[in-house]
A = this chain, B = another copy of it.
Amino acid sequence: MGEKIIRINMTNLTTAIEAVPAEWAALGGRALTSTVVAKEVPPTCEPLGKYNKLVFSPGLLTATAAANSGRLSAGFKSPLTGGIKESNAGGTAAQKMERLGIKAVIIEGMPEKDTWYSIHIDKDGATIKEDVEYIGKGNYELYNIIGEKMGKVGVLSIGPAGEYKMAAANISVKDPDGNIRSHGRGGGGAVMGSKKIKYITVDDTGGPGITLADPEKFKTQARIFAKALLDHPVSGQGLPTYGTNVLINILNEAGGLPTKNFRFGTCDHAEKICGETMHDTIVARKGNPSHGCHAGCIIKCSQIYNDADGKYITSGFEYETVWGLGANSLIESLDDIAVCDRLMDDVGIDSIEGAVIMNVAMEAGILPWGDGKGTIKLIDEDIRKGTPLGRILGNGAGSVGRTYGLTRIPVVKNQGIPAYDPRSVKGIGITYATSTMGADHTSGYTIATNILKVGGYVDPLSKAGQVELSRNLQIATAAVDSTGLCIFVAFPALDIPECFTAIFEMINARYGCELDANGVVEFGKYVLKTEHEFNLAAGFSNKDDRLPEFFEEQIPPHNAVWDFSDAEIDEFWNF
């Protein structure tokens, strides 16, 4: 298929175009980044040292006409967790890479000289340029400058947080409107910063584009797939209308909305921060309540959130960010939270980790509970300038908690626990505990089945069935994360049989292969096991598959506790 690997060596400052090894031919997205990391990165290496690698890979369906297929995976050994990491995002880089015939970009080594570089990727390969002009700049300003100079290229970049090699630093990616999406979790921005790369541009002009083994079959399956996305109530109505923030009221209702650093399962001011309020605010201010993060997205859960004067503040304003700052840190002003979201994108901090950072900072007494303006200042001054306090914060919720001698630190494998209480939604607790990624809701989103009743129903308050539910979803997610499809296609895929079939049939039509439902499961298992083996070789054990001690406390309103035994959790890996 003429696909290639771009290998960029930052020690020698050389680049190479390599043929795709046969054993990687059937891989893409997370399956490929995790395979490359597992094969080429020594598991015990320093995450910010010369032996770590940063791997980008579009998914198997990226740049096709398949709806919602424009996600890019970034893989590396995480400076936050110490384990393997895959973090995927929309934006424009994935499709441009795929149209250039690039199966993966592998960045390795580390420069000896104390300077900065940028990388440009186009039809002729990759070039490295010493480039210190934009050091210190936030992502918004950087994207404006690059847009003016280079037009509609794809951009991957780090903000000041990545330059400081903060463990919560993300890798930003330009979206179709020139705004910011993020490979958020796990500190990929610090890895990119350690390799002294401020930004990467991707120009697909003159690229070979993609070819389909069976265009007719692809078209048919892509239609079935798109229809399912539009038909399903979650992907067709809830997410397009209210964005992911539709979940504030749903989780509040379920008693699973962690509030004041996981003390309560409901939040008194949910009405002020919920998706419905956000939607009405956006409409009143002439923003856009439904906006796609990449070309071909038909769910459009993103939005353009303006201030009271109708001026753009942020987009990709997600439930988890609103939860973490709104409920868990008790900030009542949605506008303050929106400014924080923008600033985290600009300085280049994962907005989930950033939200958990702030609730731990409030726990530590660094600022008062609910202090929106104080939170803005911490991001815009301390993290941006890399003050000592900013360094503590930028290194993640675990860093803040440990540095201040706390025990109420909501992290698993040192990654901040997101927006669903594991005591009152027990399936997600199994995902947090066992995921190879550290606490990560997206790696096995049991909220679908525990709360939204998608793919059946498993009582969130009972232990029964949660391990199996999380395992099945983690396996399926590992497969979906390899396709370039947005994880939200899982909602229709779980409920509409022909939607699930369409996914692997589109892959078959793209590559001329014969994947079936069983093959998808085996593929997902392969990805998880590859990642798990890397983590074990890096020094993890089953003792790392545990939630923090404080989850033994009851959480109202259900007075639920985390009551899985070690043996019950460890059952997860028996597959």
Contacts and interface: CB of A to CB of B under 8 A. Distances in A.
Interface string A380-391: 000000011101
A87 to B, nearest CB: 18
A549 B399 contact: no
A48 B407 contact: yes
Nearest to A166: B405
A164 B403 CA distance: 9
B45 A549 contact: yes
A543 interface: yes
A544 B539 contact: yes
Contact of A49 (B51, B407, B544): B407
A562 to B, nearest CB: 13
Contacts of A399: 402-403
Interface residues of A, number: 38
Contact of A539 (B48, B51, B541, B548): B541
Interface in A265-302: none
Interface in A429-450: none
Contact of A538 (B392, B543, B548): B543
A248 to B, nearest CB: 30
Contacts of A165: 404-405
Contacts of A46: 407, 548-549
Interface in A162-184: 164-167
This protein's copies in its complex:
2
Nearest to A391: B403
Contacts of A539: 541, 543-544
Contacts of A391: 392, 403-404
Contacts of A395: 402-403
A164 B405 CA distance: 7
Mostly, the A contact residues are loop
A108 to B, nearest CB: 15
A193 interface: yes
A466 interface: no
Nearest to A382: B388
Nearest to A537: B543
Interface string A191-224: 0011000000000000000000000000000000
Most buried by B among A46, A405, A540: A405
A168 to B, nearest CB: 11
A435 to B, nearest CB: 17
Interface string A494-531: 00000000000000000000000000000000000000
Contacts of A541: 539-541
Interface in A365-418: 387-389, 391-392, 395, 399, 402-407
Contacts of A387: 388
A402 B168 CA distance: 12
A313 B560 CA distance: 56
A402 B193 CA distance: 14
A543 B44 contact: yes
B51 A405 contact: no
Nearest to A162: B405
A99 to B, nearest CB: 35
A407 B45 CA distance: 10
A190 interface: yes
Contacts of A392: 388, 391-392, 403
Nearest to A543: B539
A569 to B, nearest CB: 12
28 contacts: A43-B543, A44-B543, A45-B549, A46-B548, A46-B549, A48-B405, A48-B406, A48-B407, A49-B407, A164-B404, A164-B405, A166-B405, A167-B402, A167-B405, A190-B405, A194-B405, A194-B407, A387-B388, A391-B392, A391-B403, A391-B404, A392-B392, A395-B402, A403-B403, A537-B543, A538-B543, A539-B541, A539-B544
Given A46-B548, A165-B404, A391-B403, 12 more contacts: A43-B543, A44-B543, A46-B407, A46-B549, A51-B549, A193-B405, A387-B388, A392-B392, A395-B402, A403-B403, A539-B543, A539-B544
Interface of A: 43-46, 48-49, 51, 79, 164-167, 190, 193-194, 387-389, 391-392, 395, 399, 402-407, 537-541, 543-544, 546, 548-549
